[in-house]
Amino acid sequence: MSGFSFARLKAVFFKEFVQMRRDRLTFAMLIGMPVMQLLLFGYAINNDPRHMPAAVEIREDGVFARSFLAGLSQSSYFDIVARTTSEAEGERLMRSGRAAFLIVIPEGFERRLVRGERPQILISADATDPVASGGAVSAVQEIARRAFARDLEGPLARLAPSPAPFEIIVHRRYNPAGITAYNIVPGLLGVILTMTLTMITSIALTREIERGTMETLLATPLRPEEIMIGKTAPYILVGAIQVALVVTAAMTLFRIPFSGSAPIFVLAVTLFVFTNLMLGYLISTVARSQMQAMQMTFFVFLPSMLLSGFMFPFRAMPAWAQGIGEALPITHFLRMVRELMLKGAGAADIWDDLWPLAIILAALSAAALLRFRRTLD
Amino acid sequence: MSGDLVIDVRGLTKRFGALTAVDDLALNVPKGAIYGFLGPNGSGKTTTIRMVCGLLKPDAGEGRVLGHNVLTESAAIKARVGYMTQRFSLYEDMSIRENLEFIARLYELGDIDGRVERSLEQLGLASRAAQLAGKLSGGWKQRLALAACMIHEPELLLLDEPTAGVDPKARRDFWDQIRKFSEDGVTTLVSTHYMDEAVQCDYIAYIAFGKKLLDSPTREIAARVGLHAWRVAGPDLGALAHALEAAPGVDFVARFGVELHVVGADEAALARAVESVRARPGVTIERIPAGLEEAFISLMARAPEAVR
Ligand SMILES: Nc1ncnc2c1ncn2[C@@H]1O[C@H](COP(=O)(O)OP(=O)(O)OP(=O)(O)O)[C@@H](O)[C@H]1O
Ligand SMILES: [Mg+2]
């Protein structure tokens, strides 16, 4: 009958602003919460992660290299996810986050080892998550020593005594000093946006229903998609304020570098903001009361904190937890933000996380529209 | 015939679980009429009104509202209907003007400012336009709600107990307003519990337990219900009432100030009952036409048997 109307959407949009302005407490919460969390979470949470994805770049194959690799893959610290001989490929694996470690065995390694020249093994660690890289790096030394001790028998036994016949050079990438705030603060951006935006839109419809105003809305020609967009869009602005706040604090208070592409960052953040608003809105189509909506928001919020890679390194989680994590918008957002802020990534590097987020957004919006009840029964 | 009918629905039925809130209800409301909708609490008035404007999906039934199919064309119906909910359902954290502007925009009306201004004037809200709706007294809220549901000049008004909790003066103003709309050709379906409002309606439908028990032009109702009434006055009304209630032929005795209205369906038996107290000192009796009020009290008393 009557089609989508931009005028009606605008009416709902401005109505939300009027109400937001009157509801100072909520608005203060939306702005105050990021500040509080930033300060609270500025400190790190420590643990000893395992099963970190590692890539090996073998420029020259040989007995010792293989023995060392075997030792690496047997250790619980590393999972070898790729082998390559090309330096460019190795670099790409690191930047896209597929590998948290890159282990490079240079040319002429065996020859120089036999000659007793103490050749170098280069380990690049993705230190954007210093907690994740710390334990694993120290494990490498031990693994290498044992692997070589086994092989250096017979005529080569003279090479075995300490010091080790080779040198391991550890290169912490992206966050050389291993500062935890580098990891926590970008992650916090994701947590803040998830928490506040999901919560605020989760009561979008339940509040109208509880106050009885839903009956008025439904008695007018408003369409479900107009209500959906009109009621969520105002909070894009709130999201933008929060992002500006956190990024400013990150760069001034915590001196976190911003090395990536700003437009791509804005794109990623926008997509994530939309996704959270839709997630909340979907909750609001399911919940029967504001109280219920809050409870459901917490139900979403908990895995978002624990299984997204915010609290614990994602790669070190069991497969089922990673599976849940992949379905959470924040997981993809965290990866993108760390890659963008700390690693100087561009569009190509974050593509792996951009499209899953877009799919989650589309699925959430579709579900919310399907769930929307056009009548009071 | 259906050309003049603004509401023309049949067989409307709505169930909530095991409860049948509205049962096989038909409504025929002619254009320009004020149609009163009466019935005790929980009888299904609100549910019926909600089905008429597409807010609830009927489990059965068919028909047309403003010429649109009531089951399939609710978007078209909503655009031409003004619905005033039983419970105040505008935004309490927005001012009167903001509420009216918001509603006006939802109907995509031209000249929103002018329209809101006129509506504020018309309903006497202009001086309070900036006040938050939540801070208004009950009567003012009603006025605002009426203004809001009128803002798009609907052809059909559905008013669900619009004057509950409103003082008599405000109620009279409210009805004057409705009467004016009616003269302009607006059709009104209004539910109410007040008899003084019911008598102002052109037609009255009475429902109980989701079933329509009566539907007729207002002035024919007492006759249709088939009631006879006597006025009895005298000292010690309490004792009189007791005596009359016990007498055969008396359906019920209603007290109006210093007199009793004695009502019954059986004319002869009622007359004998009243005669029996005439001899008491100071008692006067007088035959009166049965009014609406008597008719409804009697309907309510009879309703359970009529339905089951
Ligand atoms: N959404 C609902 N879910 C379940 N039961 C309902 C619902 N809405 C109404 N009912 C029931 O349907 C019956 C009719 O209710 P309705 O509100 O239509 O009565 P009403 O005539 O408007 O009463 P009142 O004069 O008190 O406003 C009641 O028993 C009520 O409890
Ligand atoms: Mg009601």
Task: For residues A178-186, give the mean pLDDT.
Answer: 69
Reference A284, options A339, A352, A227; nearest CA is A227
Which of the ligands is closest to the CA of residue B22?
1
Please give the C-alpha separations between residue A276 and each of A19, A30, A204, B196, in angstroms, as whole numbers: 21, 14, 13, 54
Q: Hey, of A4, A21, A218, A220, which one would you mutate to test binding to chain B, going by the most B CBs within 10 A of its CB?
A: A220
SS3 string, A127-181, reads CCCHHHHHHHHHHHHHHHHHHHHHHCCHHHHHHCCCCCCCEEEEEEECCCCCCHH
Question: Does the beta carbon of B43 lie inside 6 Å of ligand 1?
Answer: yes
Average pLDDT, chain A: 82
pLDDT band at residue A45 using 50, 70 and 90 as cut-offs? very low
Among chain B residues, CA nearest to A227: B106
Contact predicate B145/B88, CB 8 Å? yes
**A366 band by pLDDT with thresholds 50, 70 and 90:** very high
pLDDT digits (tens, 9 = 90+) for B119-167: 998 878 888 899 999 999 888 898 899 899 999 999 999 999 998 878 8
pLDDT at residue B106 greater than cutoff 60: yes
Is the pLDDT score of A46 beyond 50?
A: no
Chain B residues closer than 8 Å to A218 by CB: 55
Predicted local distance difference test score (pLDDT) of residue A44: 44
Q: What is the DSSP letter of B2?
A: T
Instruction: Name the token pair of A34.
Output: 């990021």
CA of B178 to the centre of ligand 1 (A): 25
| Burial class of residue A246 in the structure, from the number of CB atoms within 10 Å of its CB (0-12 exposed, 13-18 middle, 19+ buried) | buried
Structure tokens at B113: 């400012």
CATH number of B228-289: 3.30.70
Q: What are the structural domains of chain A?
A: 52-173 (3.40.1710.10), 180-376 (no CATH)
What does the pLDDT read at residue A42?
A: 60
Handedness of CA B129, B131, B133, B137 (dihedral sign): negative
Sequence-distant (6+) residues with CB within 8 A of A240 are A273
The verdict on the CB of residue B18 being under 6 Å from ligand 1 is: no
Question: Could you tell me which residue, A142 or A337, shows the higher pLDDT?
Answer: A337
Residue pair B61/B227 in contact (Cβ under 8 Å)? The answer is no
Q: Of 3.50.50.60, 3.40.50.720, 1.10.10.10, 3.40.50.300, which CATH number belongs to B5-221? A: 3.40.50.300
Distance from C-alpha of A79 to C-alpha of B144, rounded to nearest angstrom: 68
pLDDT of residue B305: 57
Distance between CA atoms of A322 and B148, rounded to whole angstroms?
A: 52
- pTM here is 0.77
- How much is the pLDDT for B295? 79
- Looking at CA atoms only, how far is residue A16 from chain B in angstroms? 10
Classify B252 as helix, strand or coil.
Answer: strand
- ipTM (interface pTM): 0.83
Each residue's pLDDT tens digit, A215-269: 999 999 999 999 999 999 999 998 999 899 888 887 887 777 777 888 889 999 9
CA distance B56 to chain A (A): 5
- pLDDT for the residue A1: 44
List the single residue in A with minimal CA-CA distance to B15. A377
Residue A150: band (very low, low, confident or very high) from pLDDT cuts 50, 70, 90: low
Which of A11, A18, A23 has the CB atom closest to B106's CB atom? Answer: A11
The structure tokens listed for B84 are 């005033």
Q: Which of A90-94, A183-187, B34-38, B133-137 is least confident?
A: A183-187
A22 in Cβ contact with B134 (< 8 Å): no
* CA atoms A350, A279, A269, A258: torsion sign: negative
The chain A residue lying nearest B57, using CA atoms, is A375
Per DSSP, what are the bridge partners of residue B216? B204
Burial B195-212 (b: 16+ CB within 10 A, else e): bebbebbbbbbbbbbbbb
Contact present, A300 and A276 (Cβ < 8 Å)? no
d(CA A338, CA A121): 27
Residue range B207-223: average pLDDT?
85
Task: Give B284's Cβ-side CA count (13 Å radius).
Answer: 5
- CA–CA dist A346, A185 (Å, integer): 20
Residue ranges of chain B whose CB lies within 8 Å of a chain A CB: 16, 50, 53-57, 73, 75-76, 78-79, 81, 83, 85, 87-94, 98, 102-103, 105-108, 132, 148
Q: What is the mean pLDDT of residues A180-199?
A: 82
For B154-203, the pLDDT digits (tens) are 999 999 999 887 888 888 888 998 999 899 999 999 999 888 888 889 99
CA of B212 to the centre of ligand 2 (A): 15
Structure tokens at B209: 């337990």
The Å distance, Cα B193 to ligand 2 centre, comes to 10
H or E stretch including B12?
strand B5-16
Q: Where does CATH 3.30.70 sit in chain B?
A: 228-289
Q: Which residues, at least 6 apart from B111, have a Cβ–Cβ distance to it below 8 Å? A: none
Q: Is the CB of B46 under 6 A from ligand 1?
A: yes
User: How many A from CA of B160 to the centre of ligand 2?
Assistant: 7
Q: Is A211 or B304 the better-scoring residue by pLDDT?
A: A211
Angle at A376 between CA A372 and CA B4, to 5 degrees: 115
The per-residue pLDDT for B87 is 92
pLDDT in tens, A64-81: 778 778 887 777 778 888
**A7 or A47, which is more confident?**
A7
pLDDT surpassing 80 at residue A152? no
CA distance B77 to B68: 6
Going by C-alpha positions, the residue among B168, B179, B172 that lies closest to residue B202 is: B179
Please say if the pLDDT value at position B251 is more than 80. yes
The bridge status of strand A167-173 relative to strand A120-126 is parallel
More confident: A246 or A45: A246
Q: Over the stretch B256-298, which tens digit does the pLDDT of each residue have?
A: 888 888 888 888 888 888 888 888 888 888 888 877 777 777 7
The residue whose CB lies within 8 Å of the most ligand 1 atoms, and thus the one to mutate among B12, B16, B211, is B16
The pair of three-digit structure tokens given for residue B203, joined into one six-digit string: 């037609």
Compute the average pLDDT of residues A278-296.
Answer: 92
The C-alpha atoms of residue B47 and residue B63 are separated, in whole angstroms, by 16
Percent of chain B with pLDDT over 90: 48
Rounded Cα–Cα distance for residues A193 and A89 (Å):
34
Q: Which one-letter DSSP state was computed for residue B161? A: S
Q: If interface means Cβ-Cβ distance under 8 Å, which residues of chain A face chain B?
A: 1-2, 5, 7-8, 10-12, 14-15, 18-19, 22-23, 211-222, 375-377
Residue B218 contacts residue B292 (beta carbons within 8 Å):
yes
Please state, in angstroms and as integers, the Cα–Cα distance from residue A125 to each residue in A51, A128, A277, following that order.
14, 9, 35
CA of B285 from ligand 1 middle (Å) equals 42
Q: How far, in Å, from the CA of B38 to the mean position of ligand 2? A: 10
pLDDT at B101 over 90: yes
Instruction: Tell me how far apart the alpha carbons of residues B86 and B47 are, in angstroms, rounded to a whole number.
Output: 11
**How far is CA B174 from each of CA B146, B161, B162, B167, B258, rounded to the nearest angstrom?**
9, 12, 9, 10, 30
pLDDT at A162: 52
pLDDT in tens, A15-39: 998 998 888 888 888 788 777 777 7
pLDDT of residue B308: 45
Q: Which of A42-51, B106-115, B269-278 has the highest mean pLDDT?
A: B106-115
Write out chain A residues lying below 8 Å of B161, CB-based: none
Contacts of B60 in chain A (CB under 8 A): none
Q: How far is A215 from chain B (nearest CA, A)?
A: 7
B44: Cβ below 6 Å to ligand 1?
Answer: yes
On the question of pLDDT at A99 being above 50, the answer is yes
> Which residues in chain A have Cβ-Cβ distances shorter than 8 Å to B146?
none
Decide if A215 and B85 are in contact by the 8 Å CB cutoff: yes
User: Is-contact B36 B197, C-beta < 8 A?
Assistant: yes
> What gap in Å lies between CA A213 and CA B132, rounded to an integer?
15
Residue among B50, B78, B98 minimizing CB distance to A220: B78
Q: What is the percent of chain B with per-residue pLDDT over 70, rounded to a whole number?
A: 97
Confidence of residue B1 (pLDDT cuts 50, 70, 90): very low
Intervals of CATH 3.40.50.300 along chain B: 5-221
Query: Which residues, 6+ apart, have CB-to-CB distance to A122 below 8 Å?
Result: A103, A104, A106, A169, A171
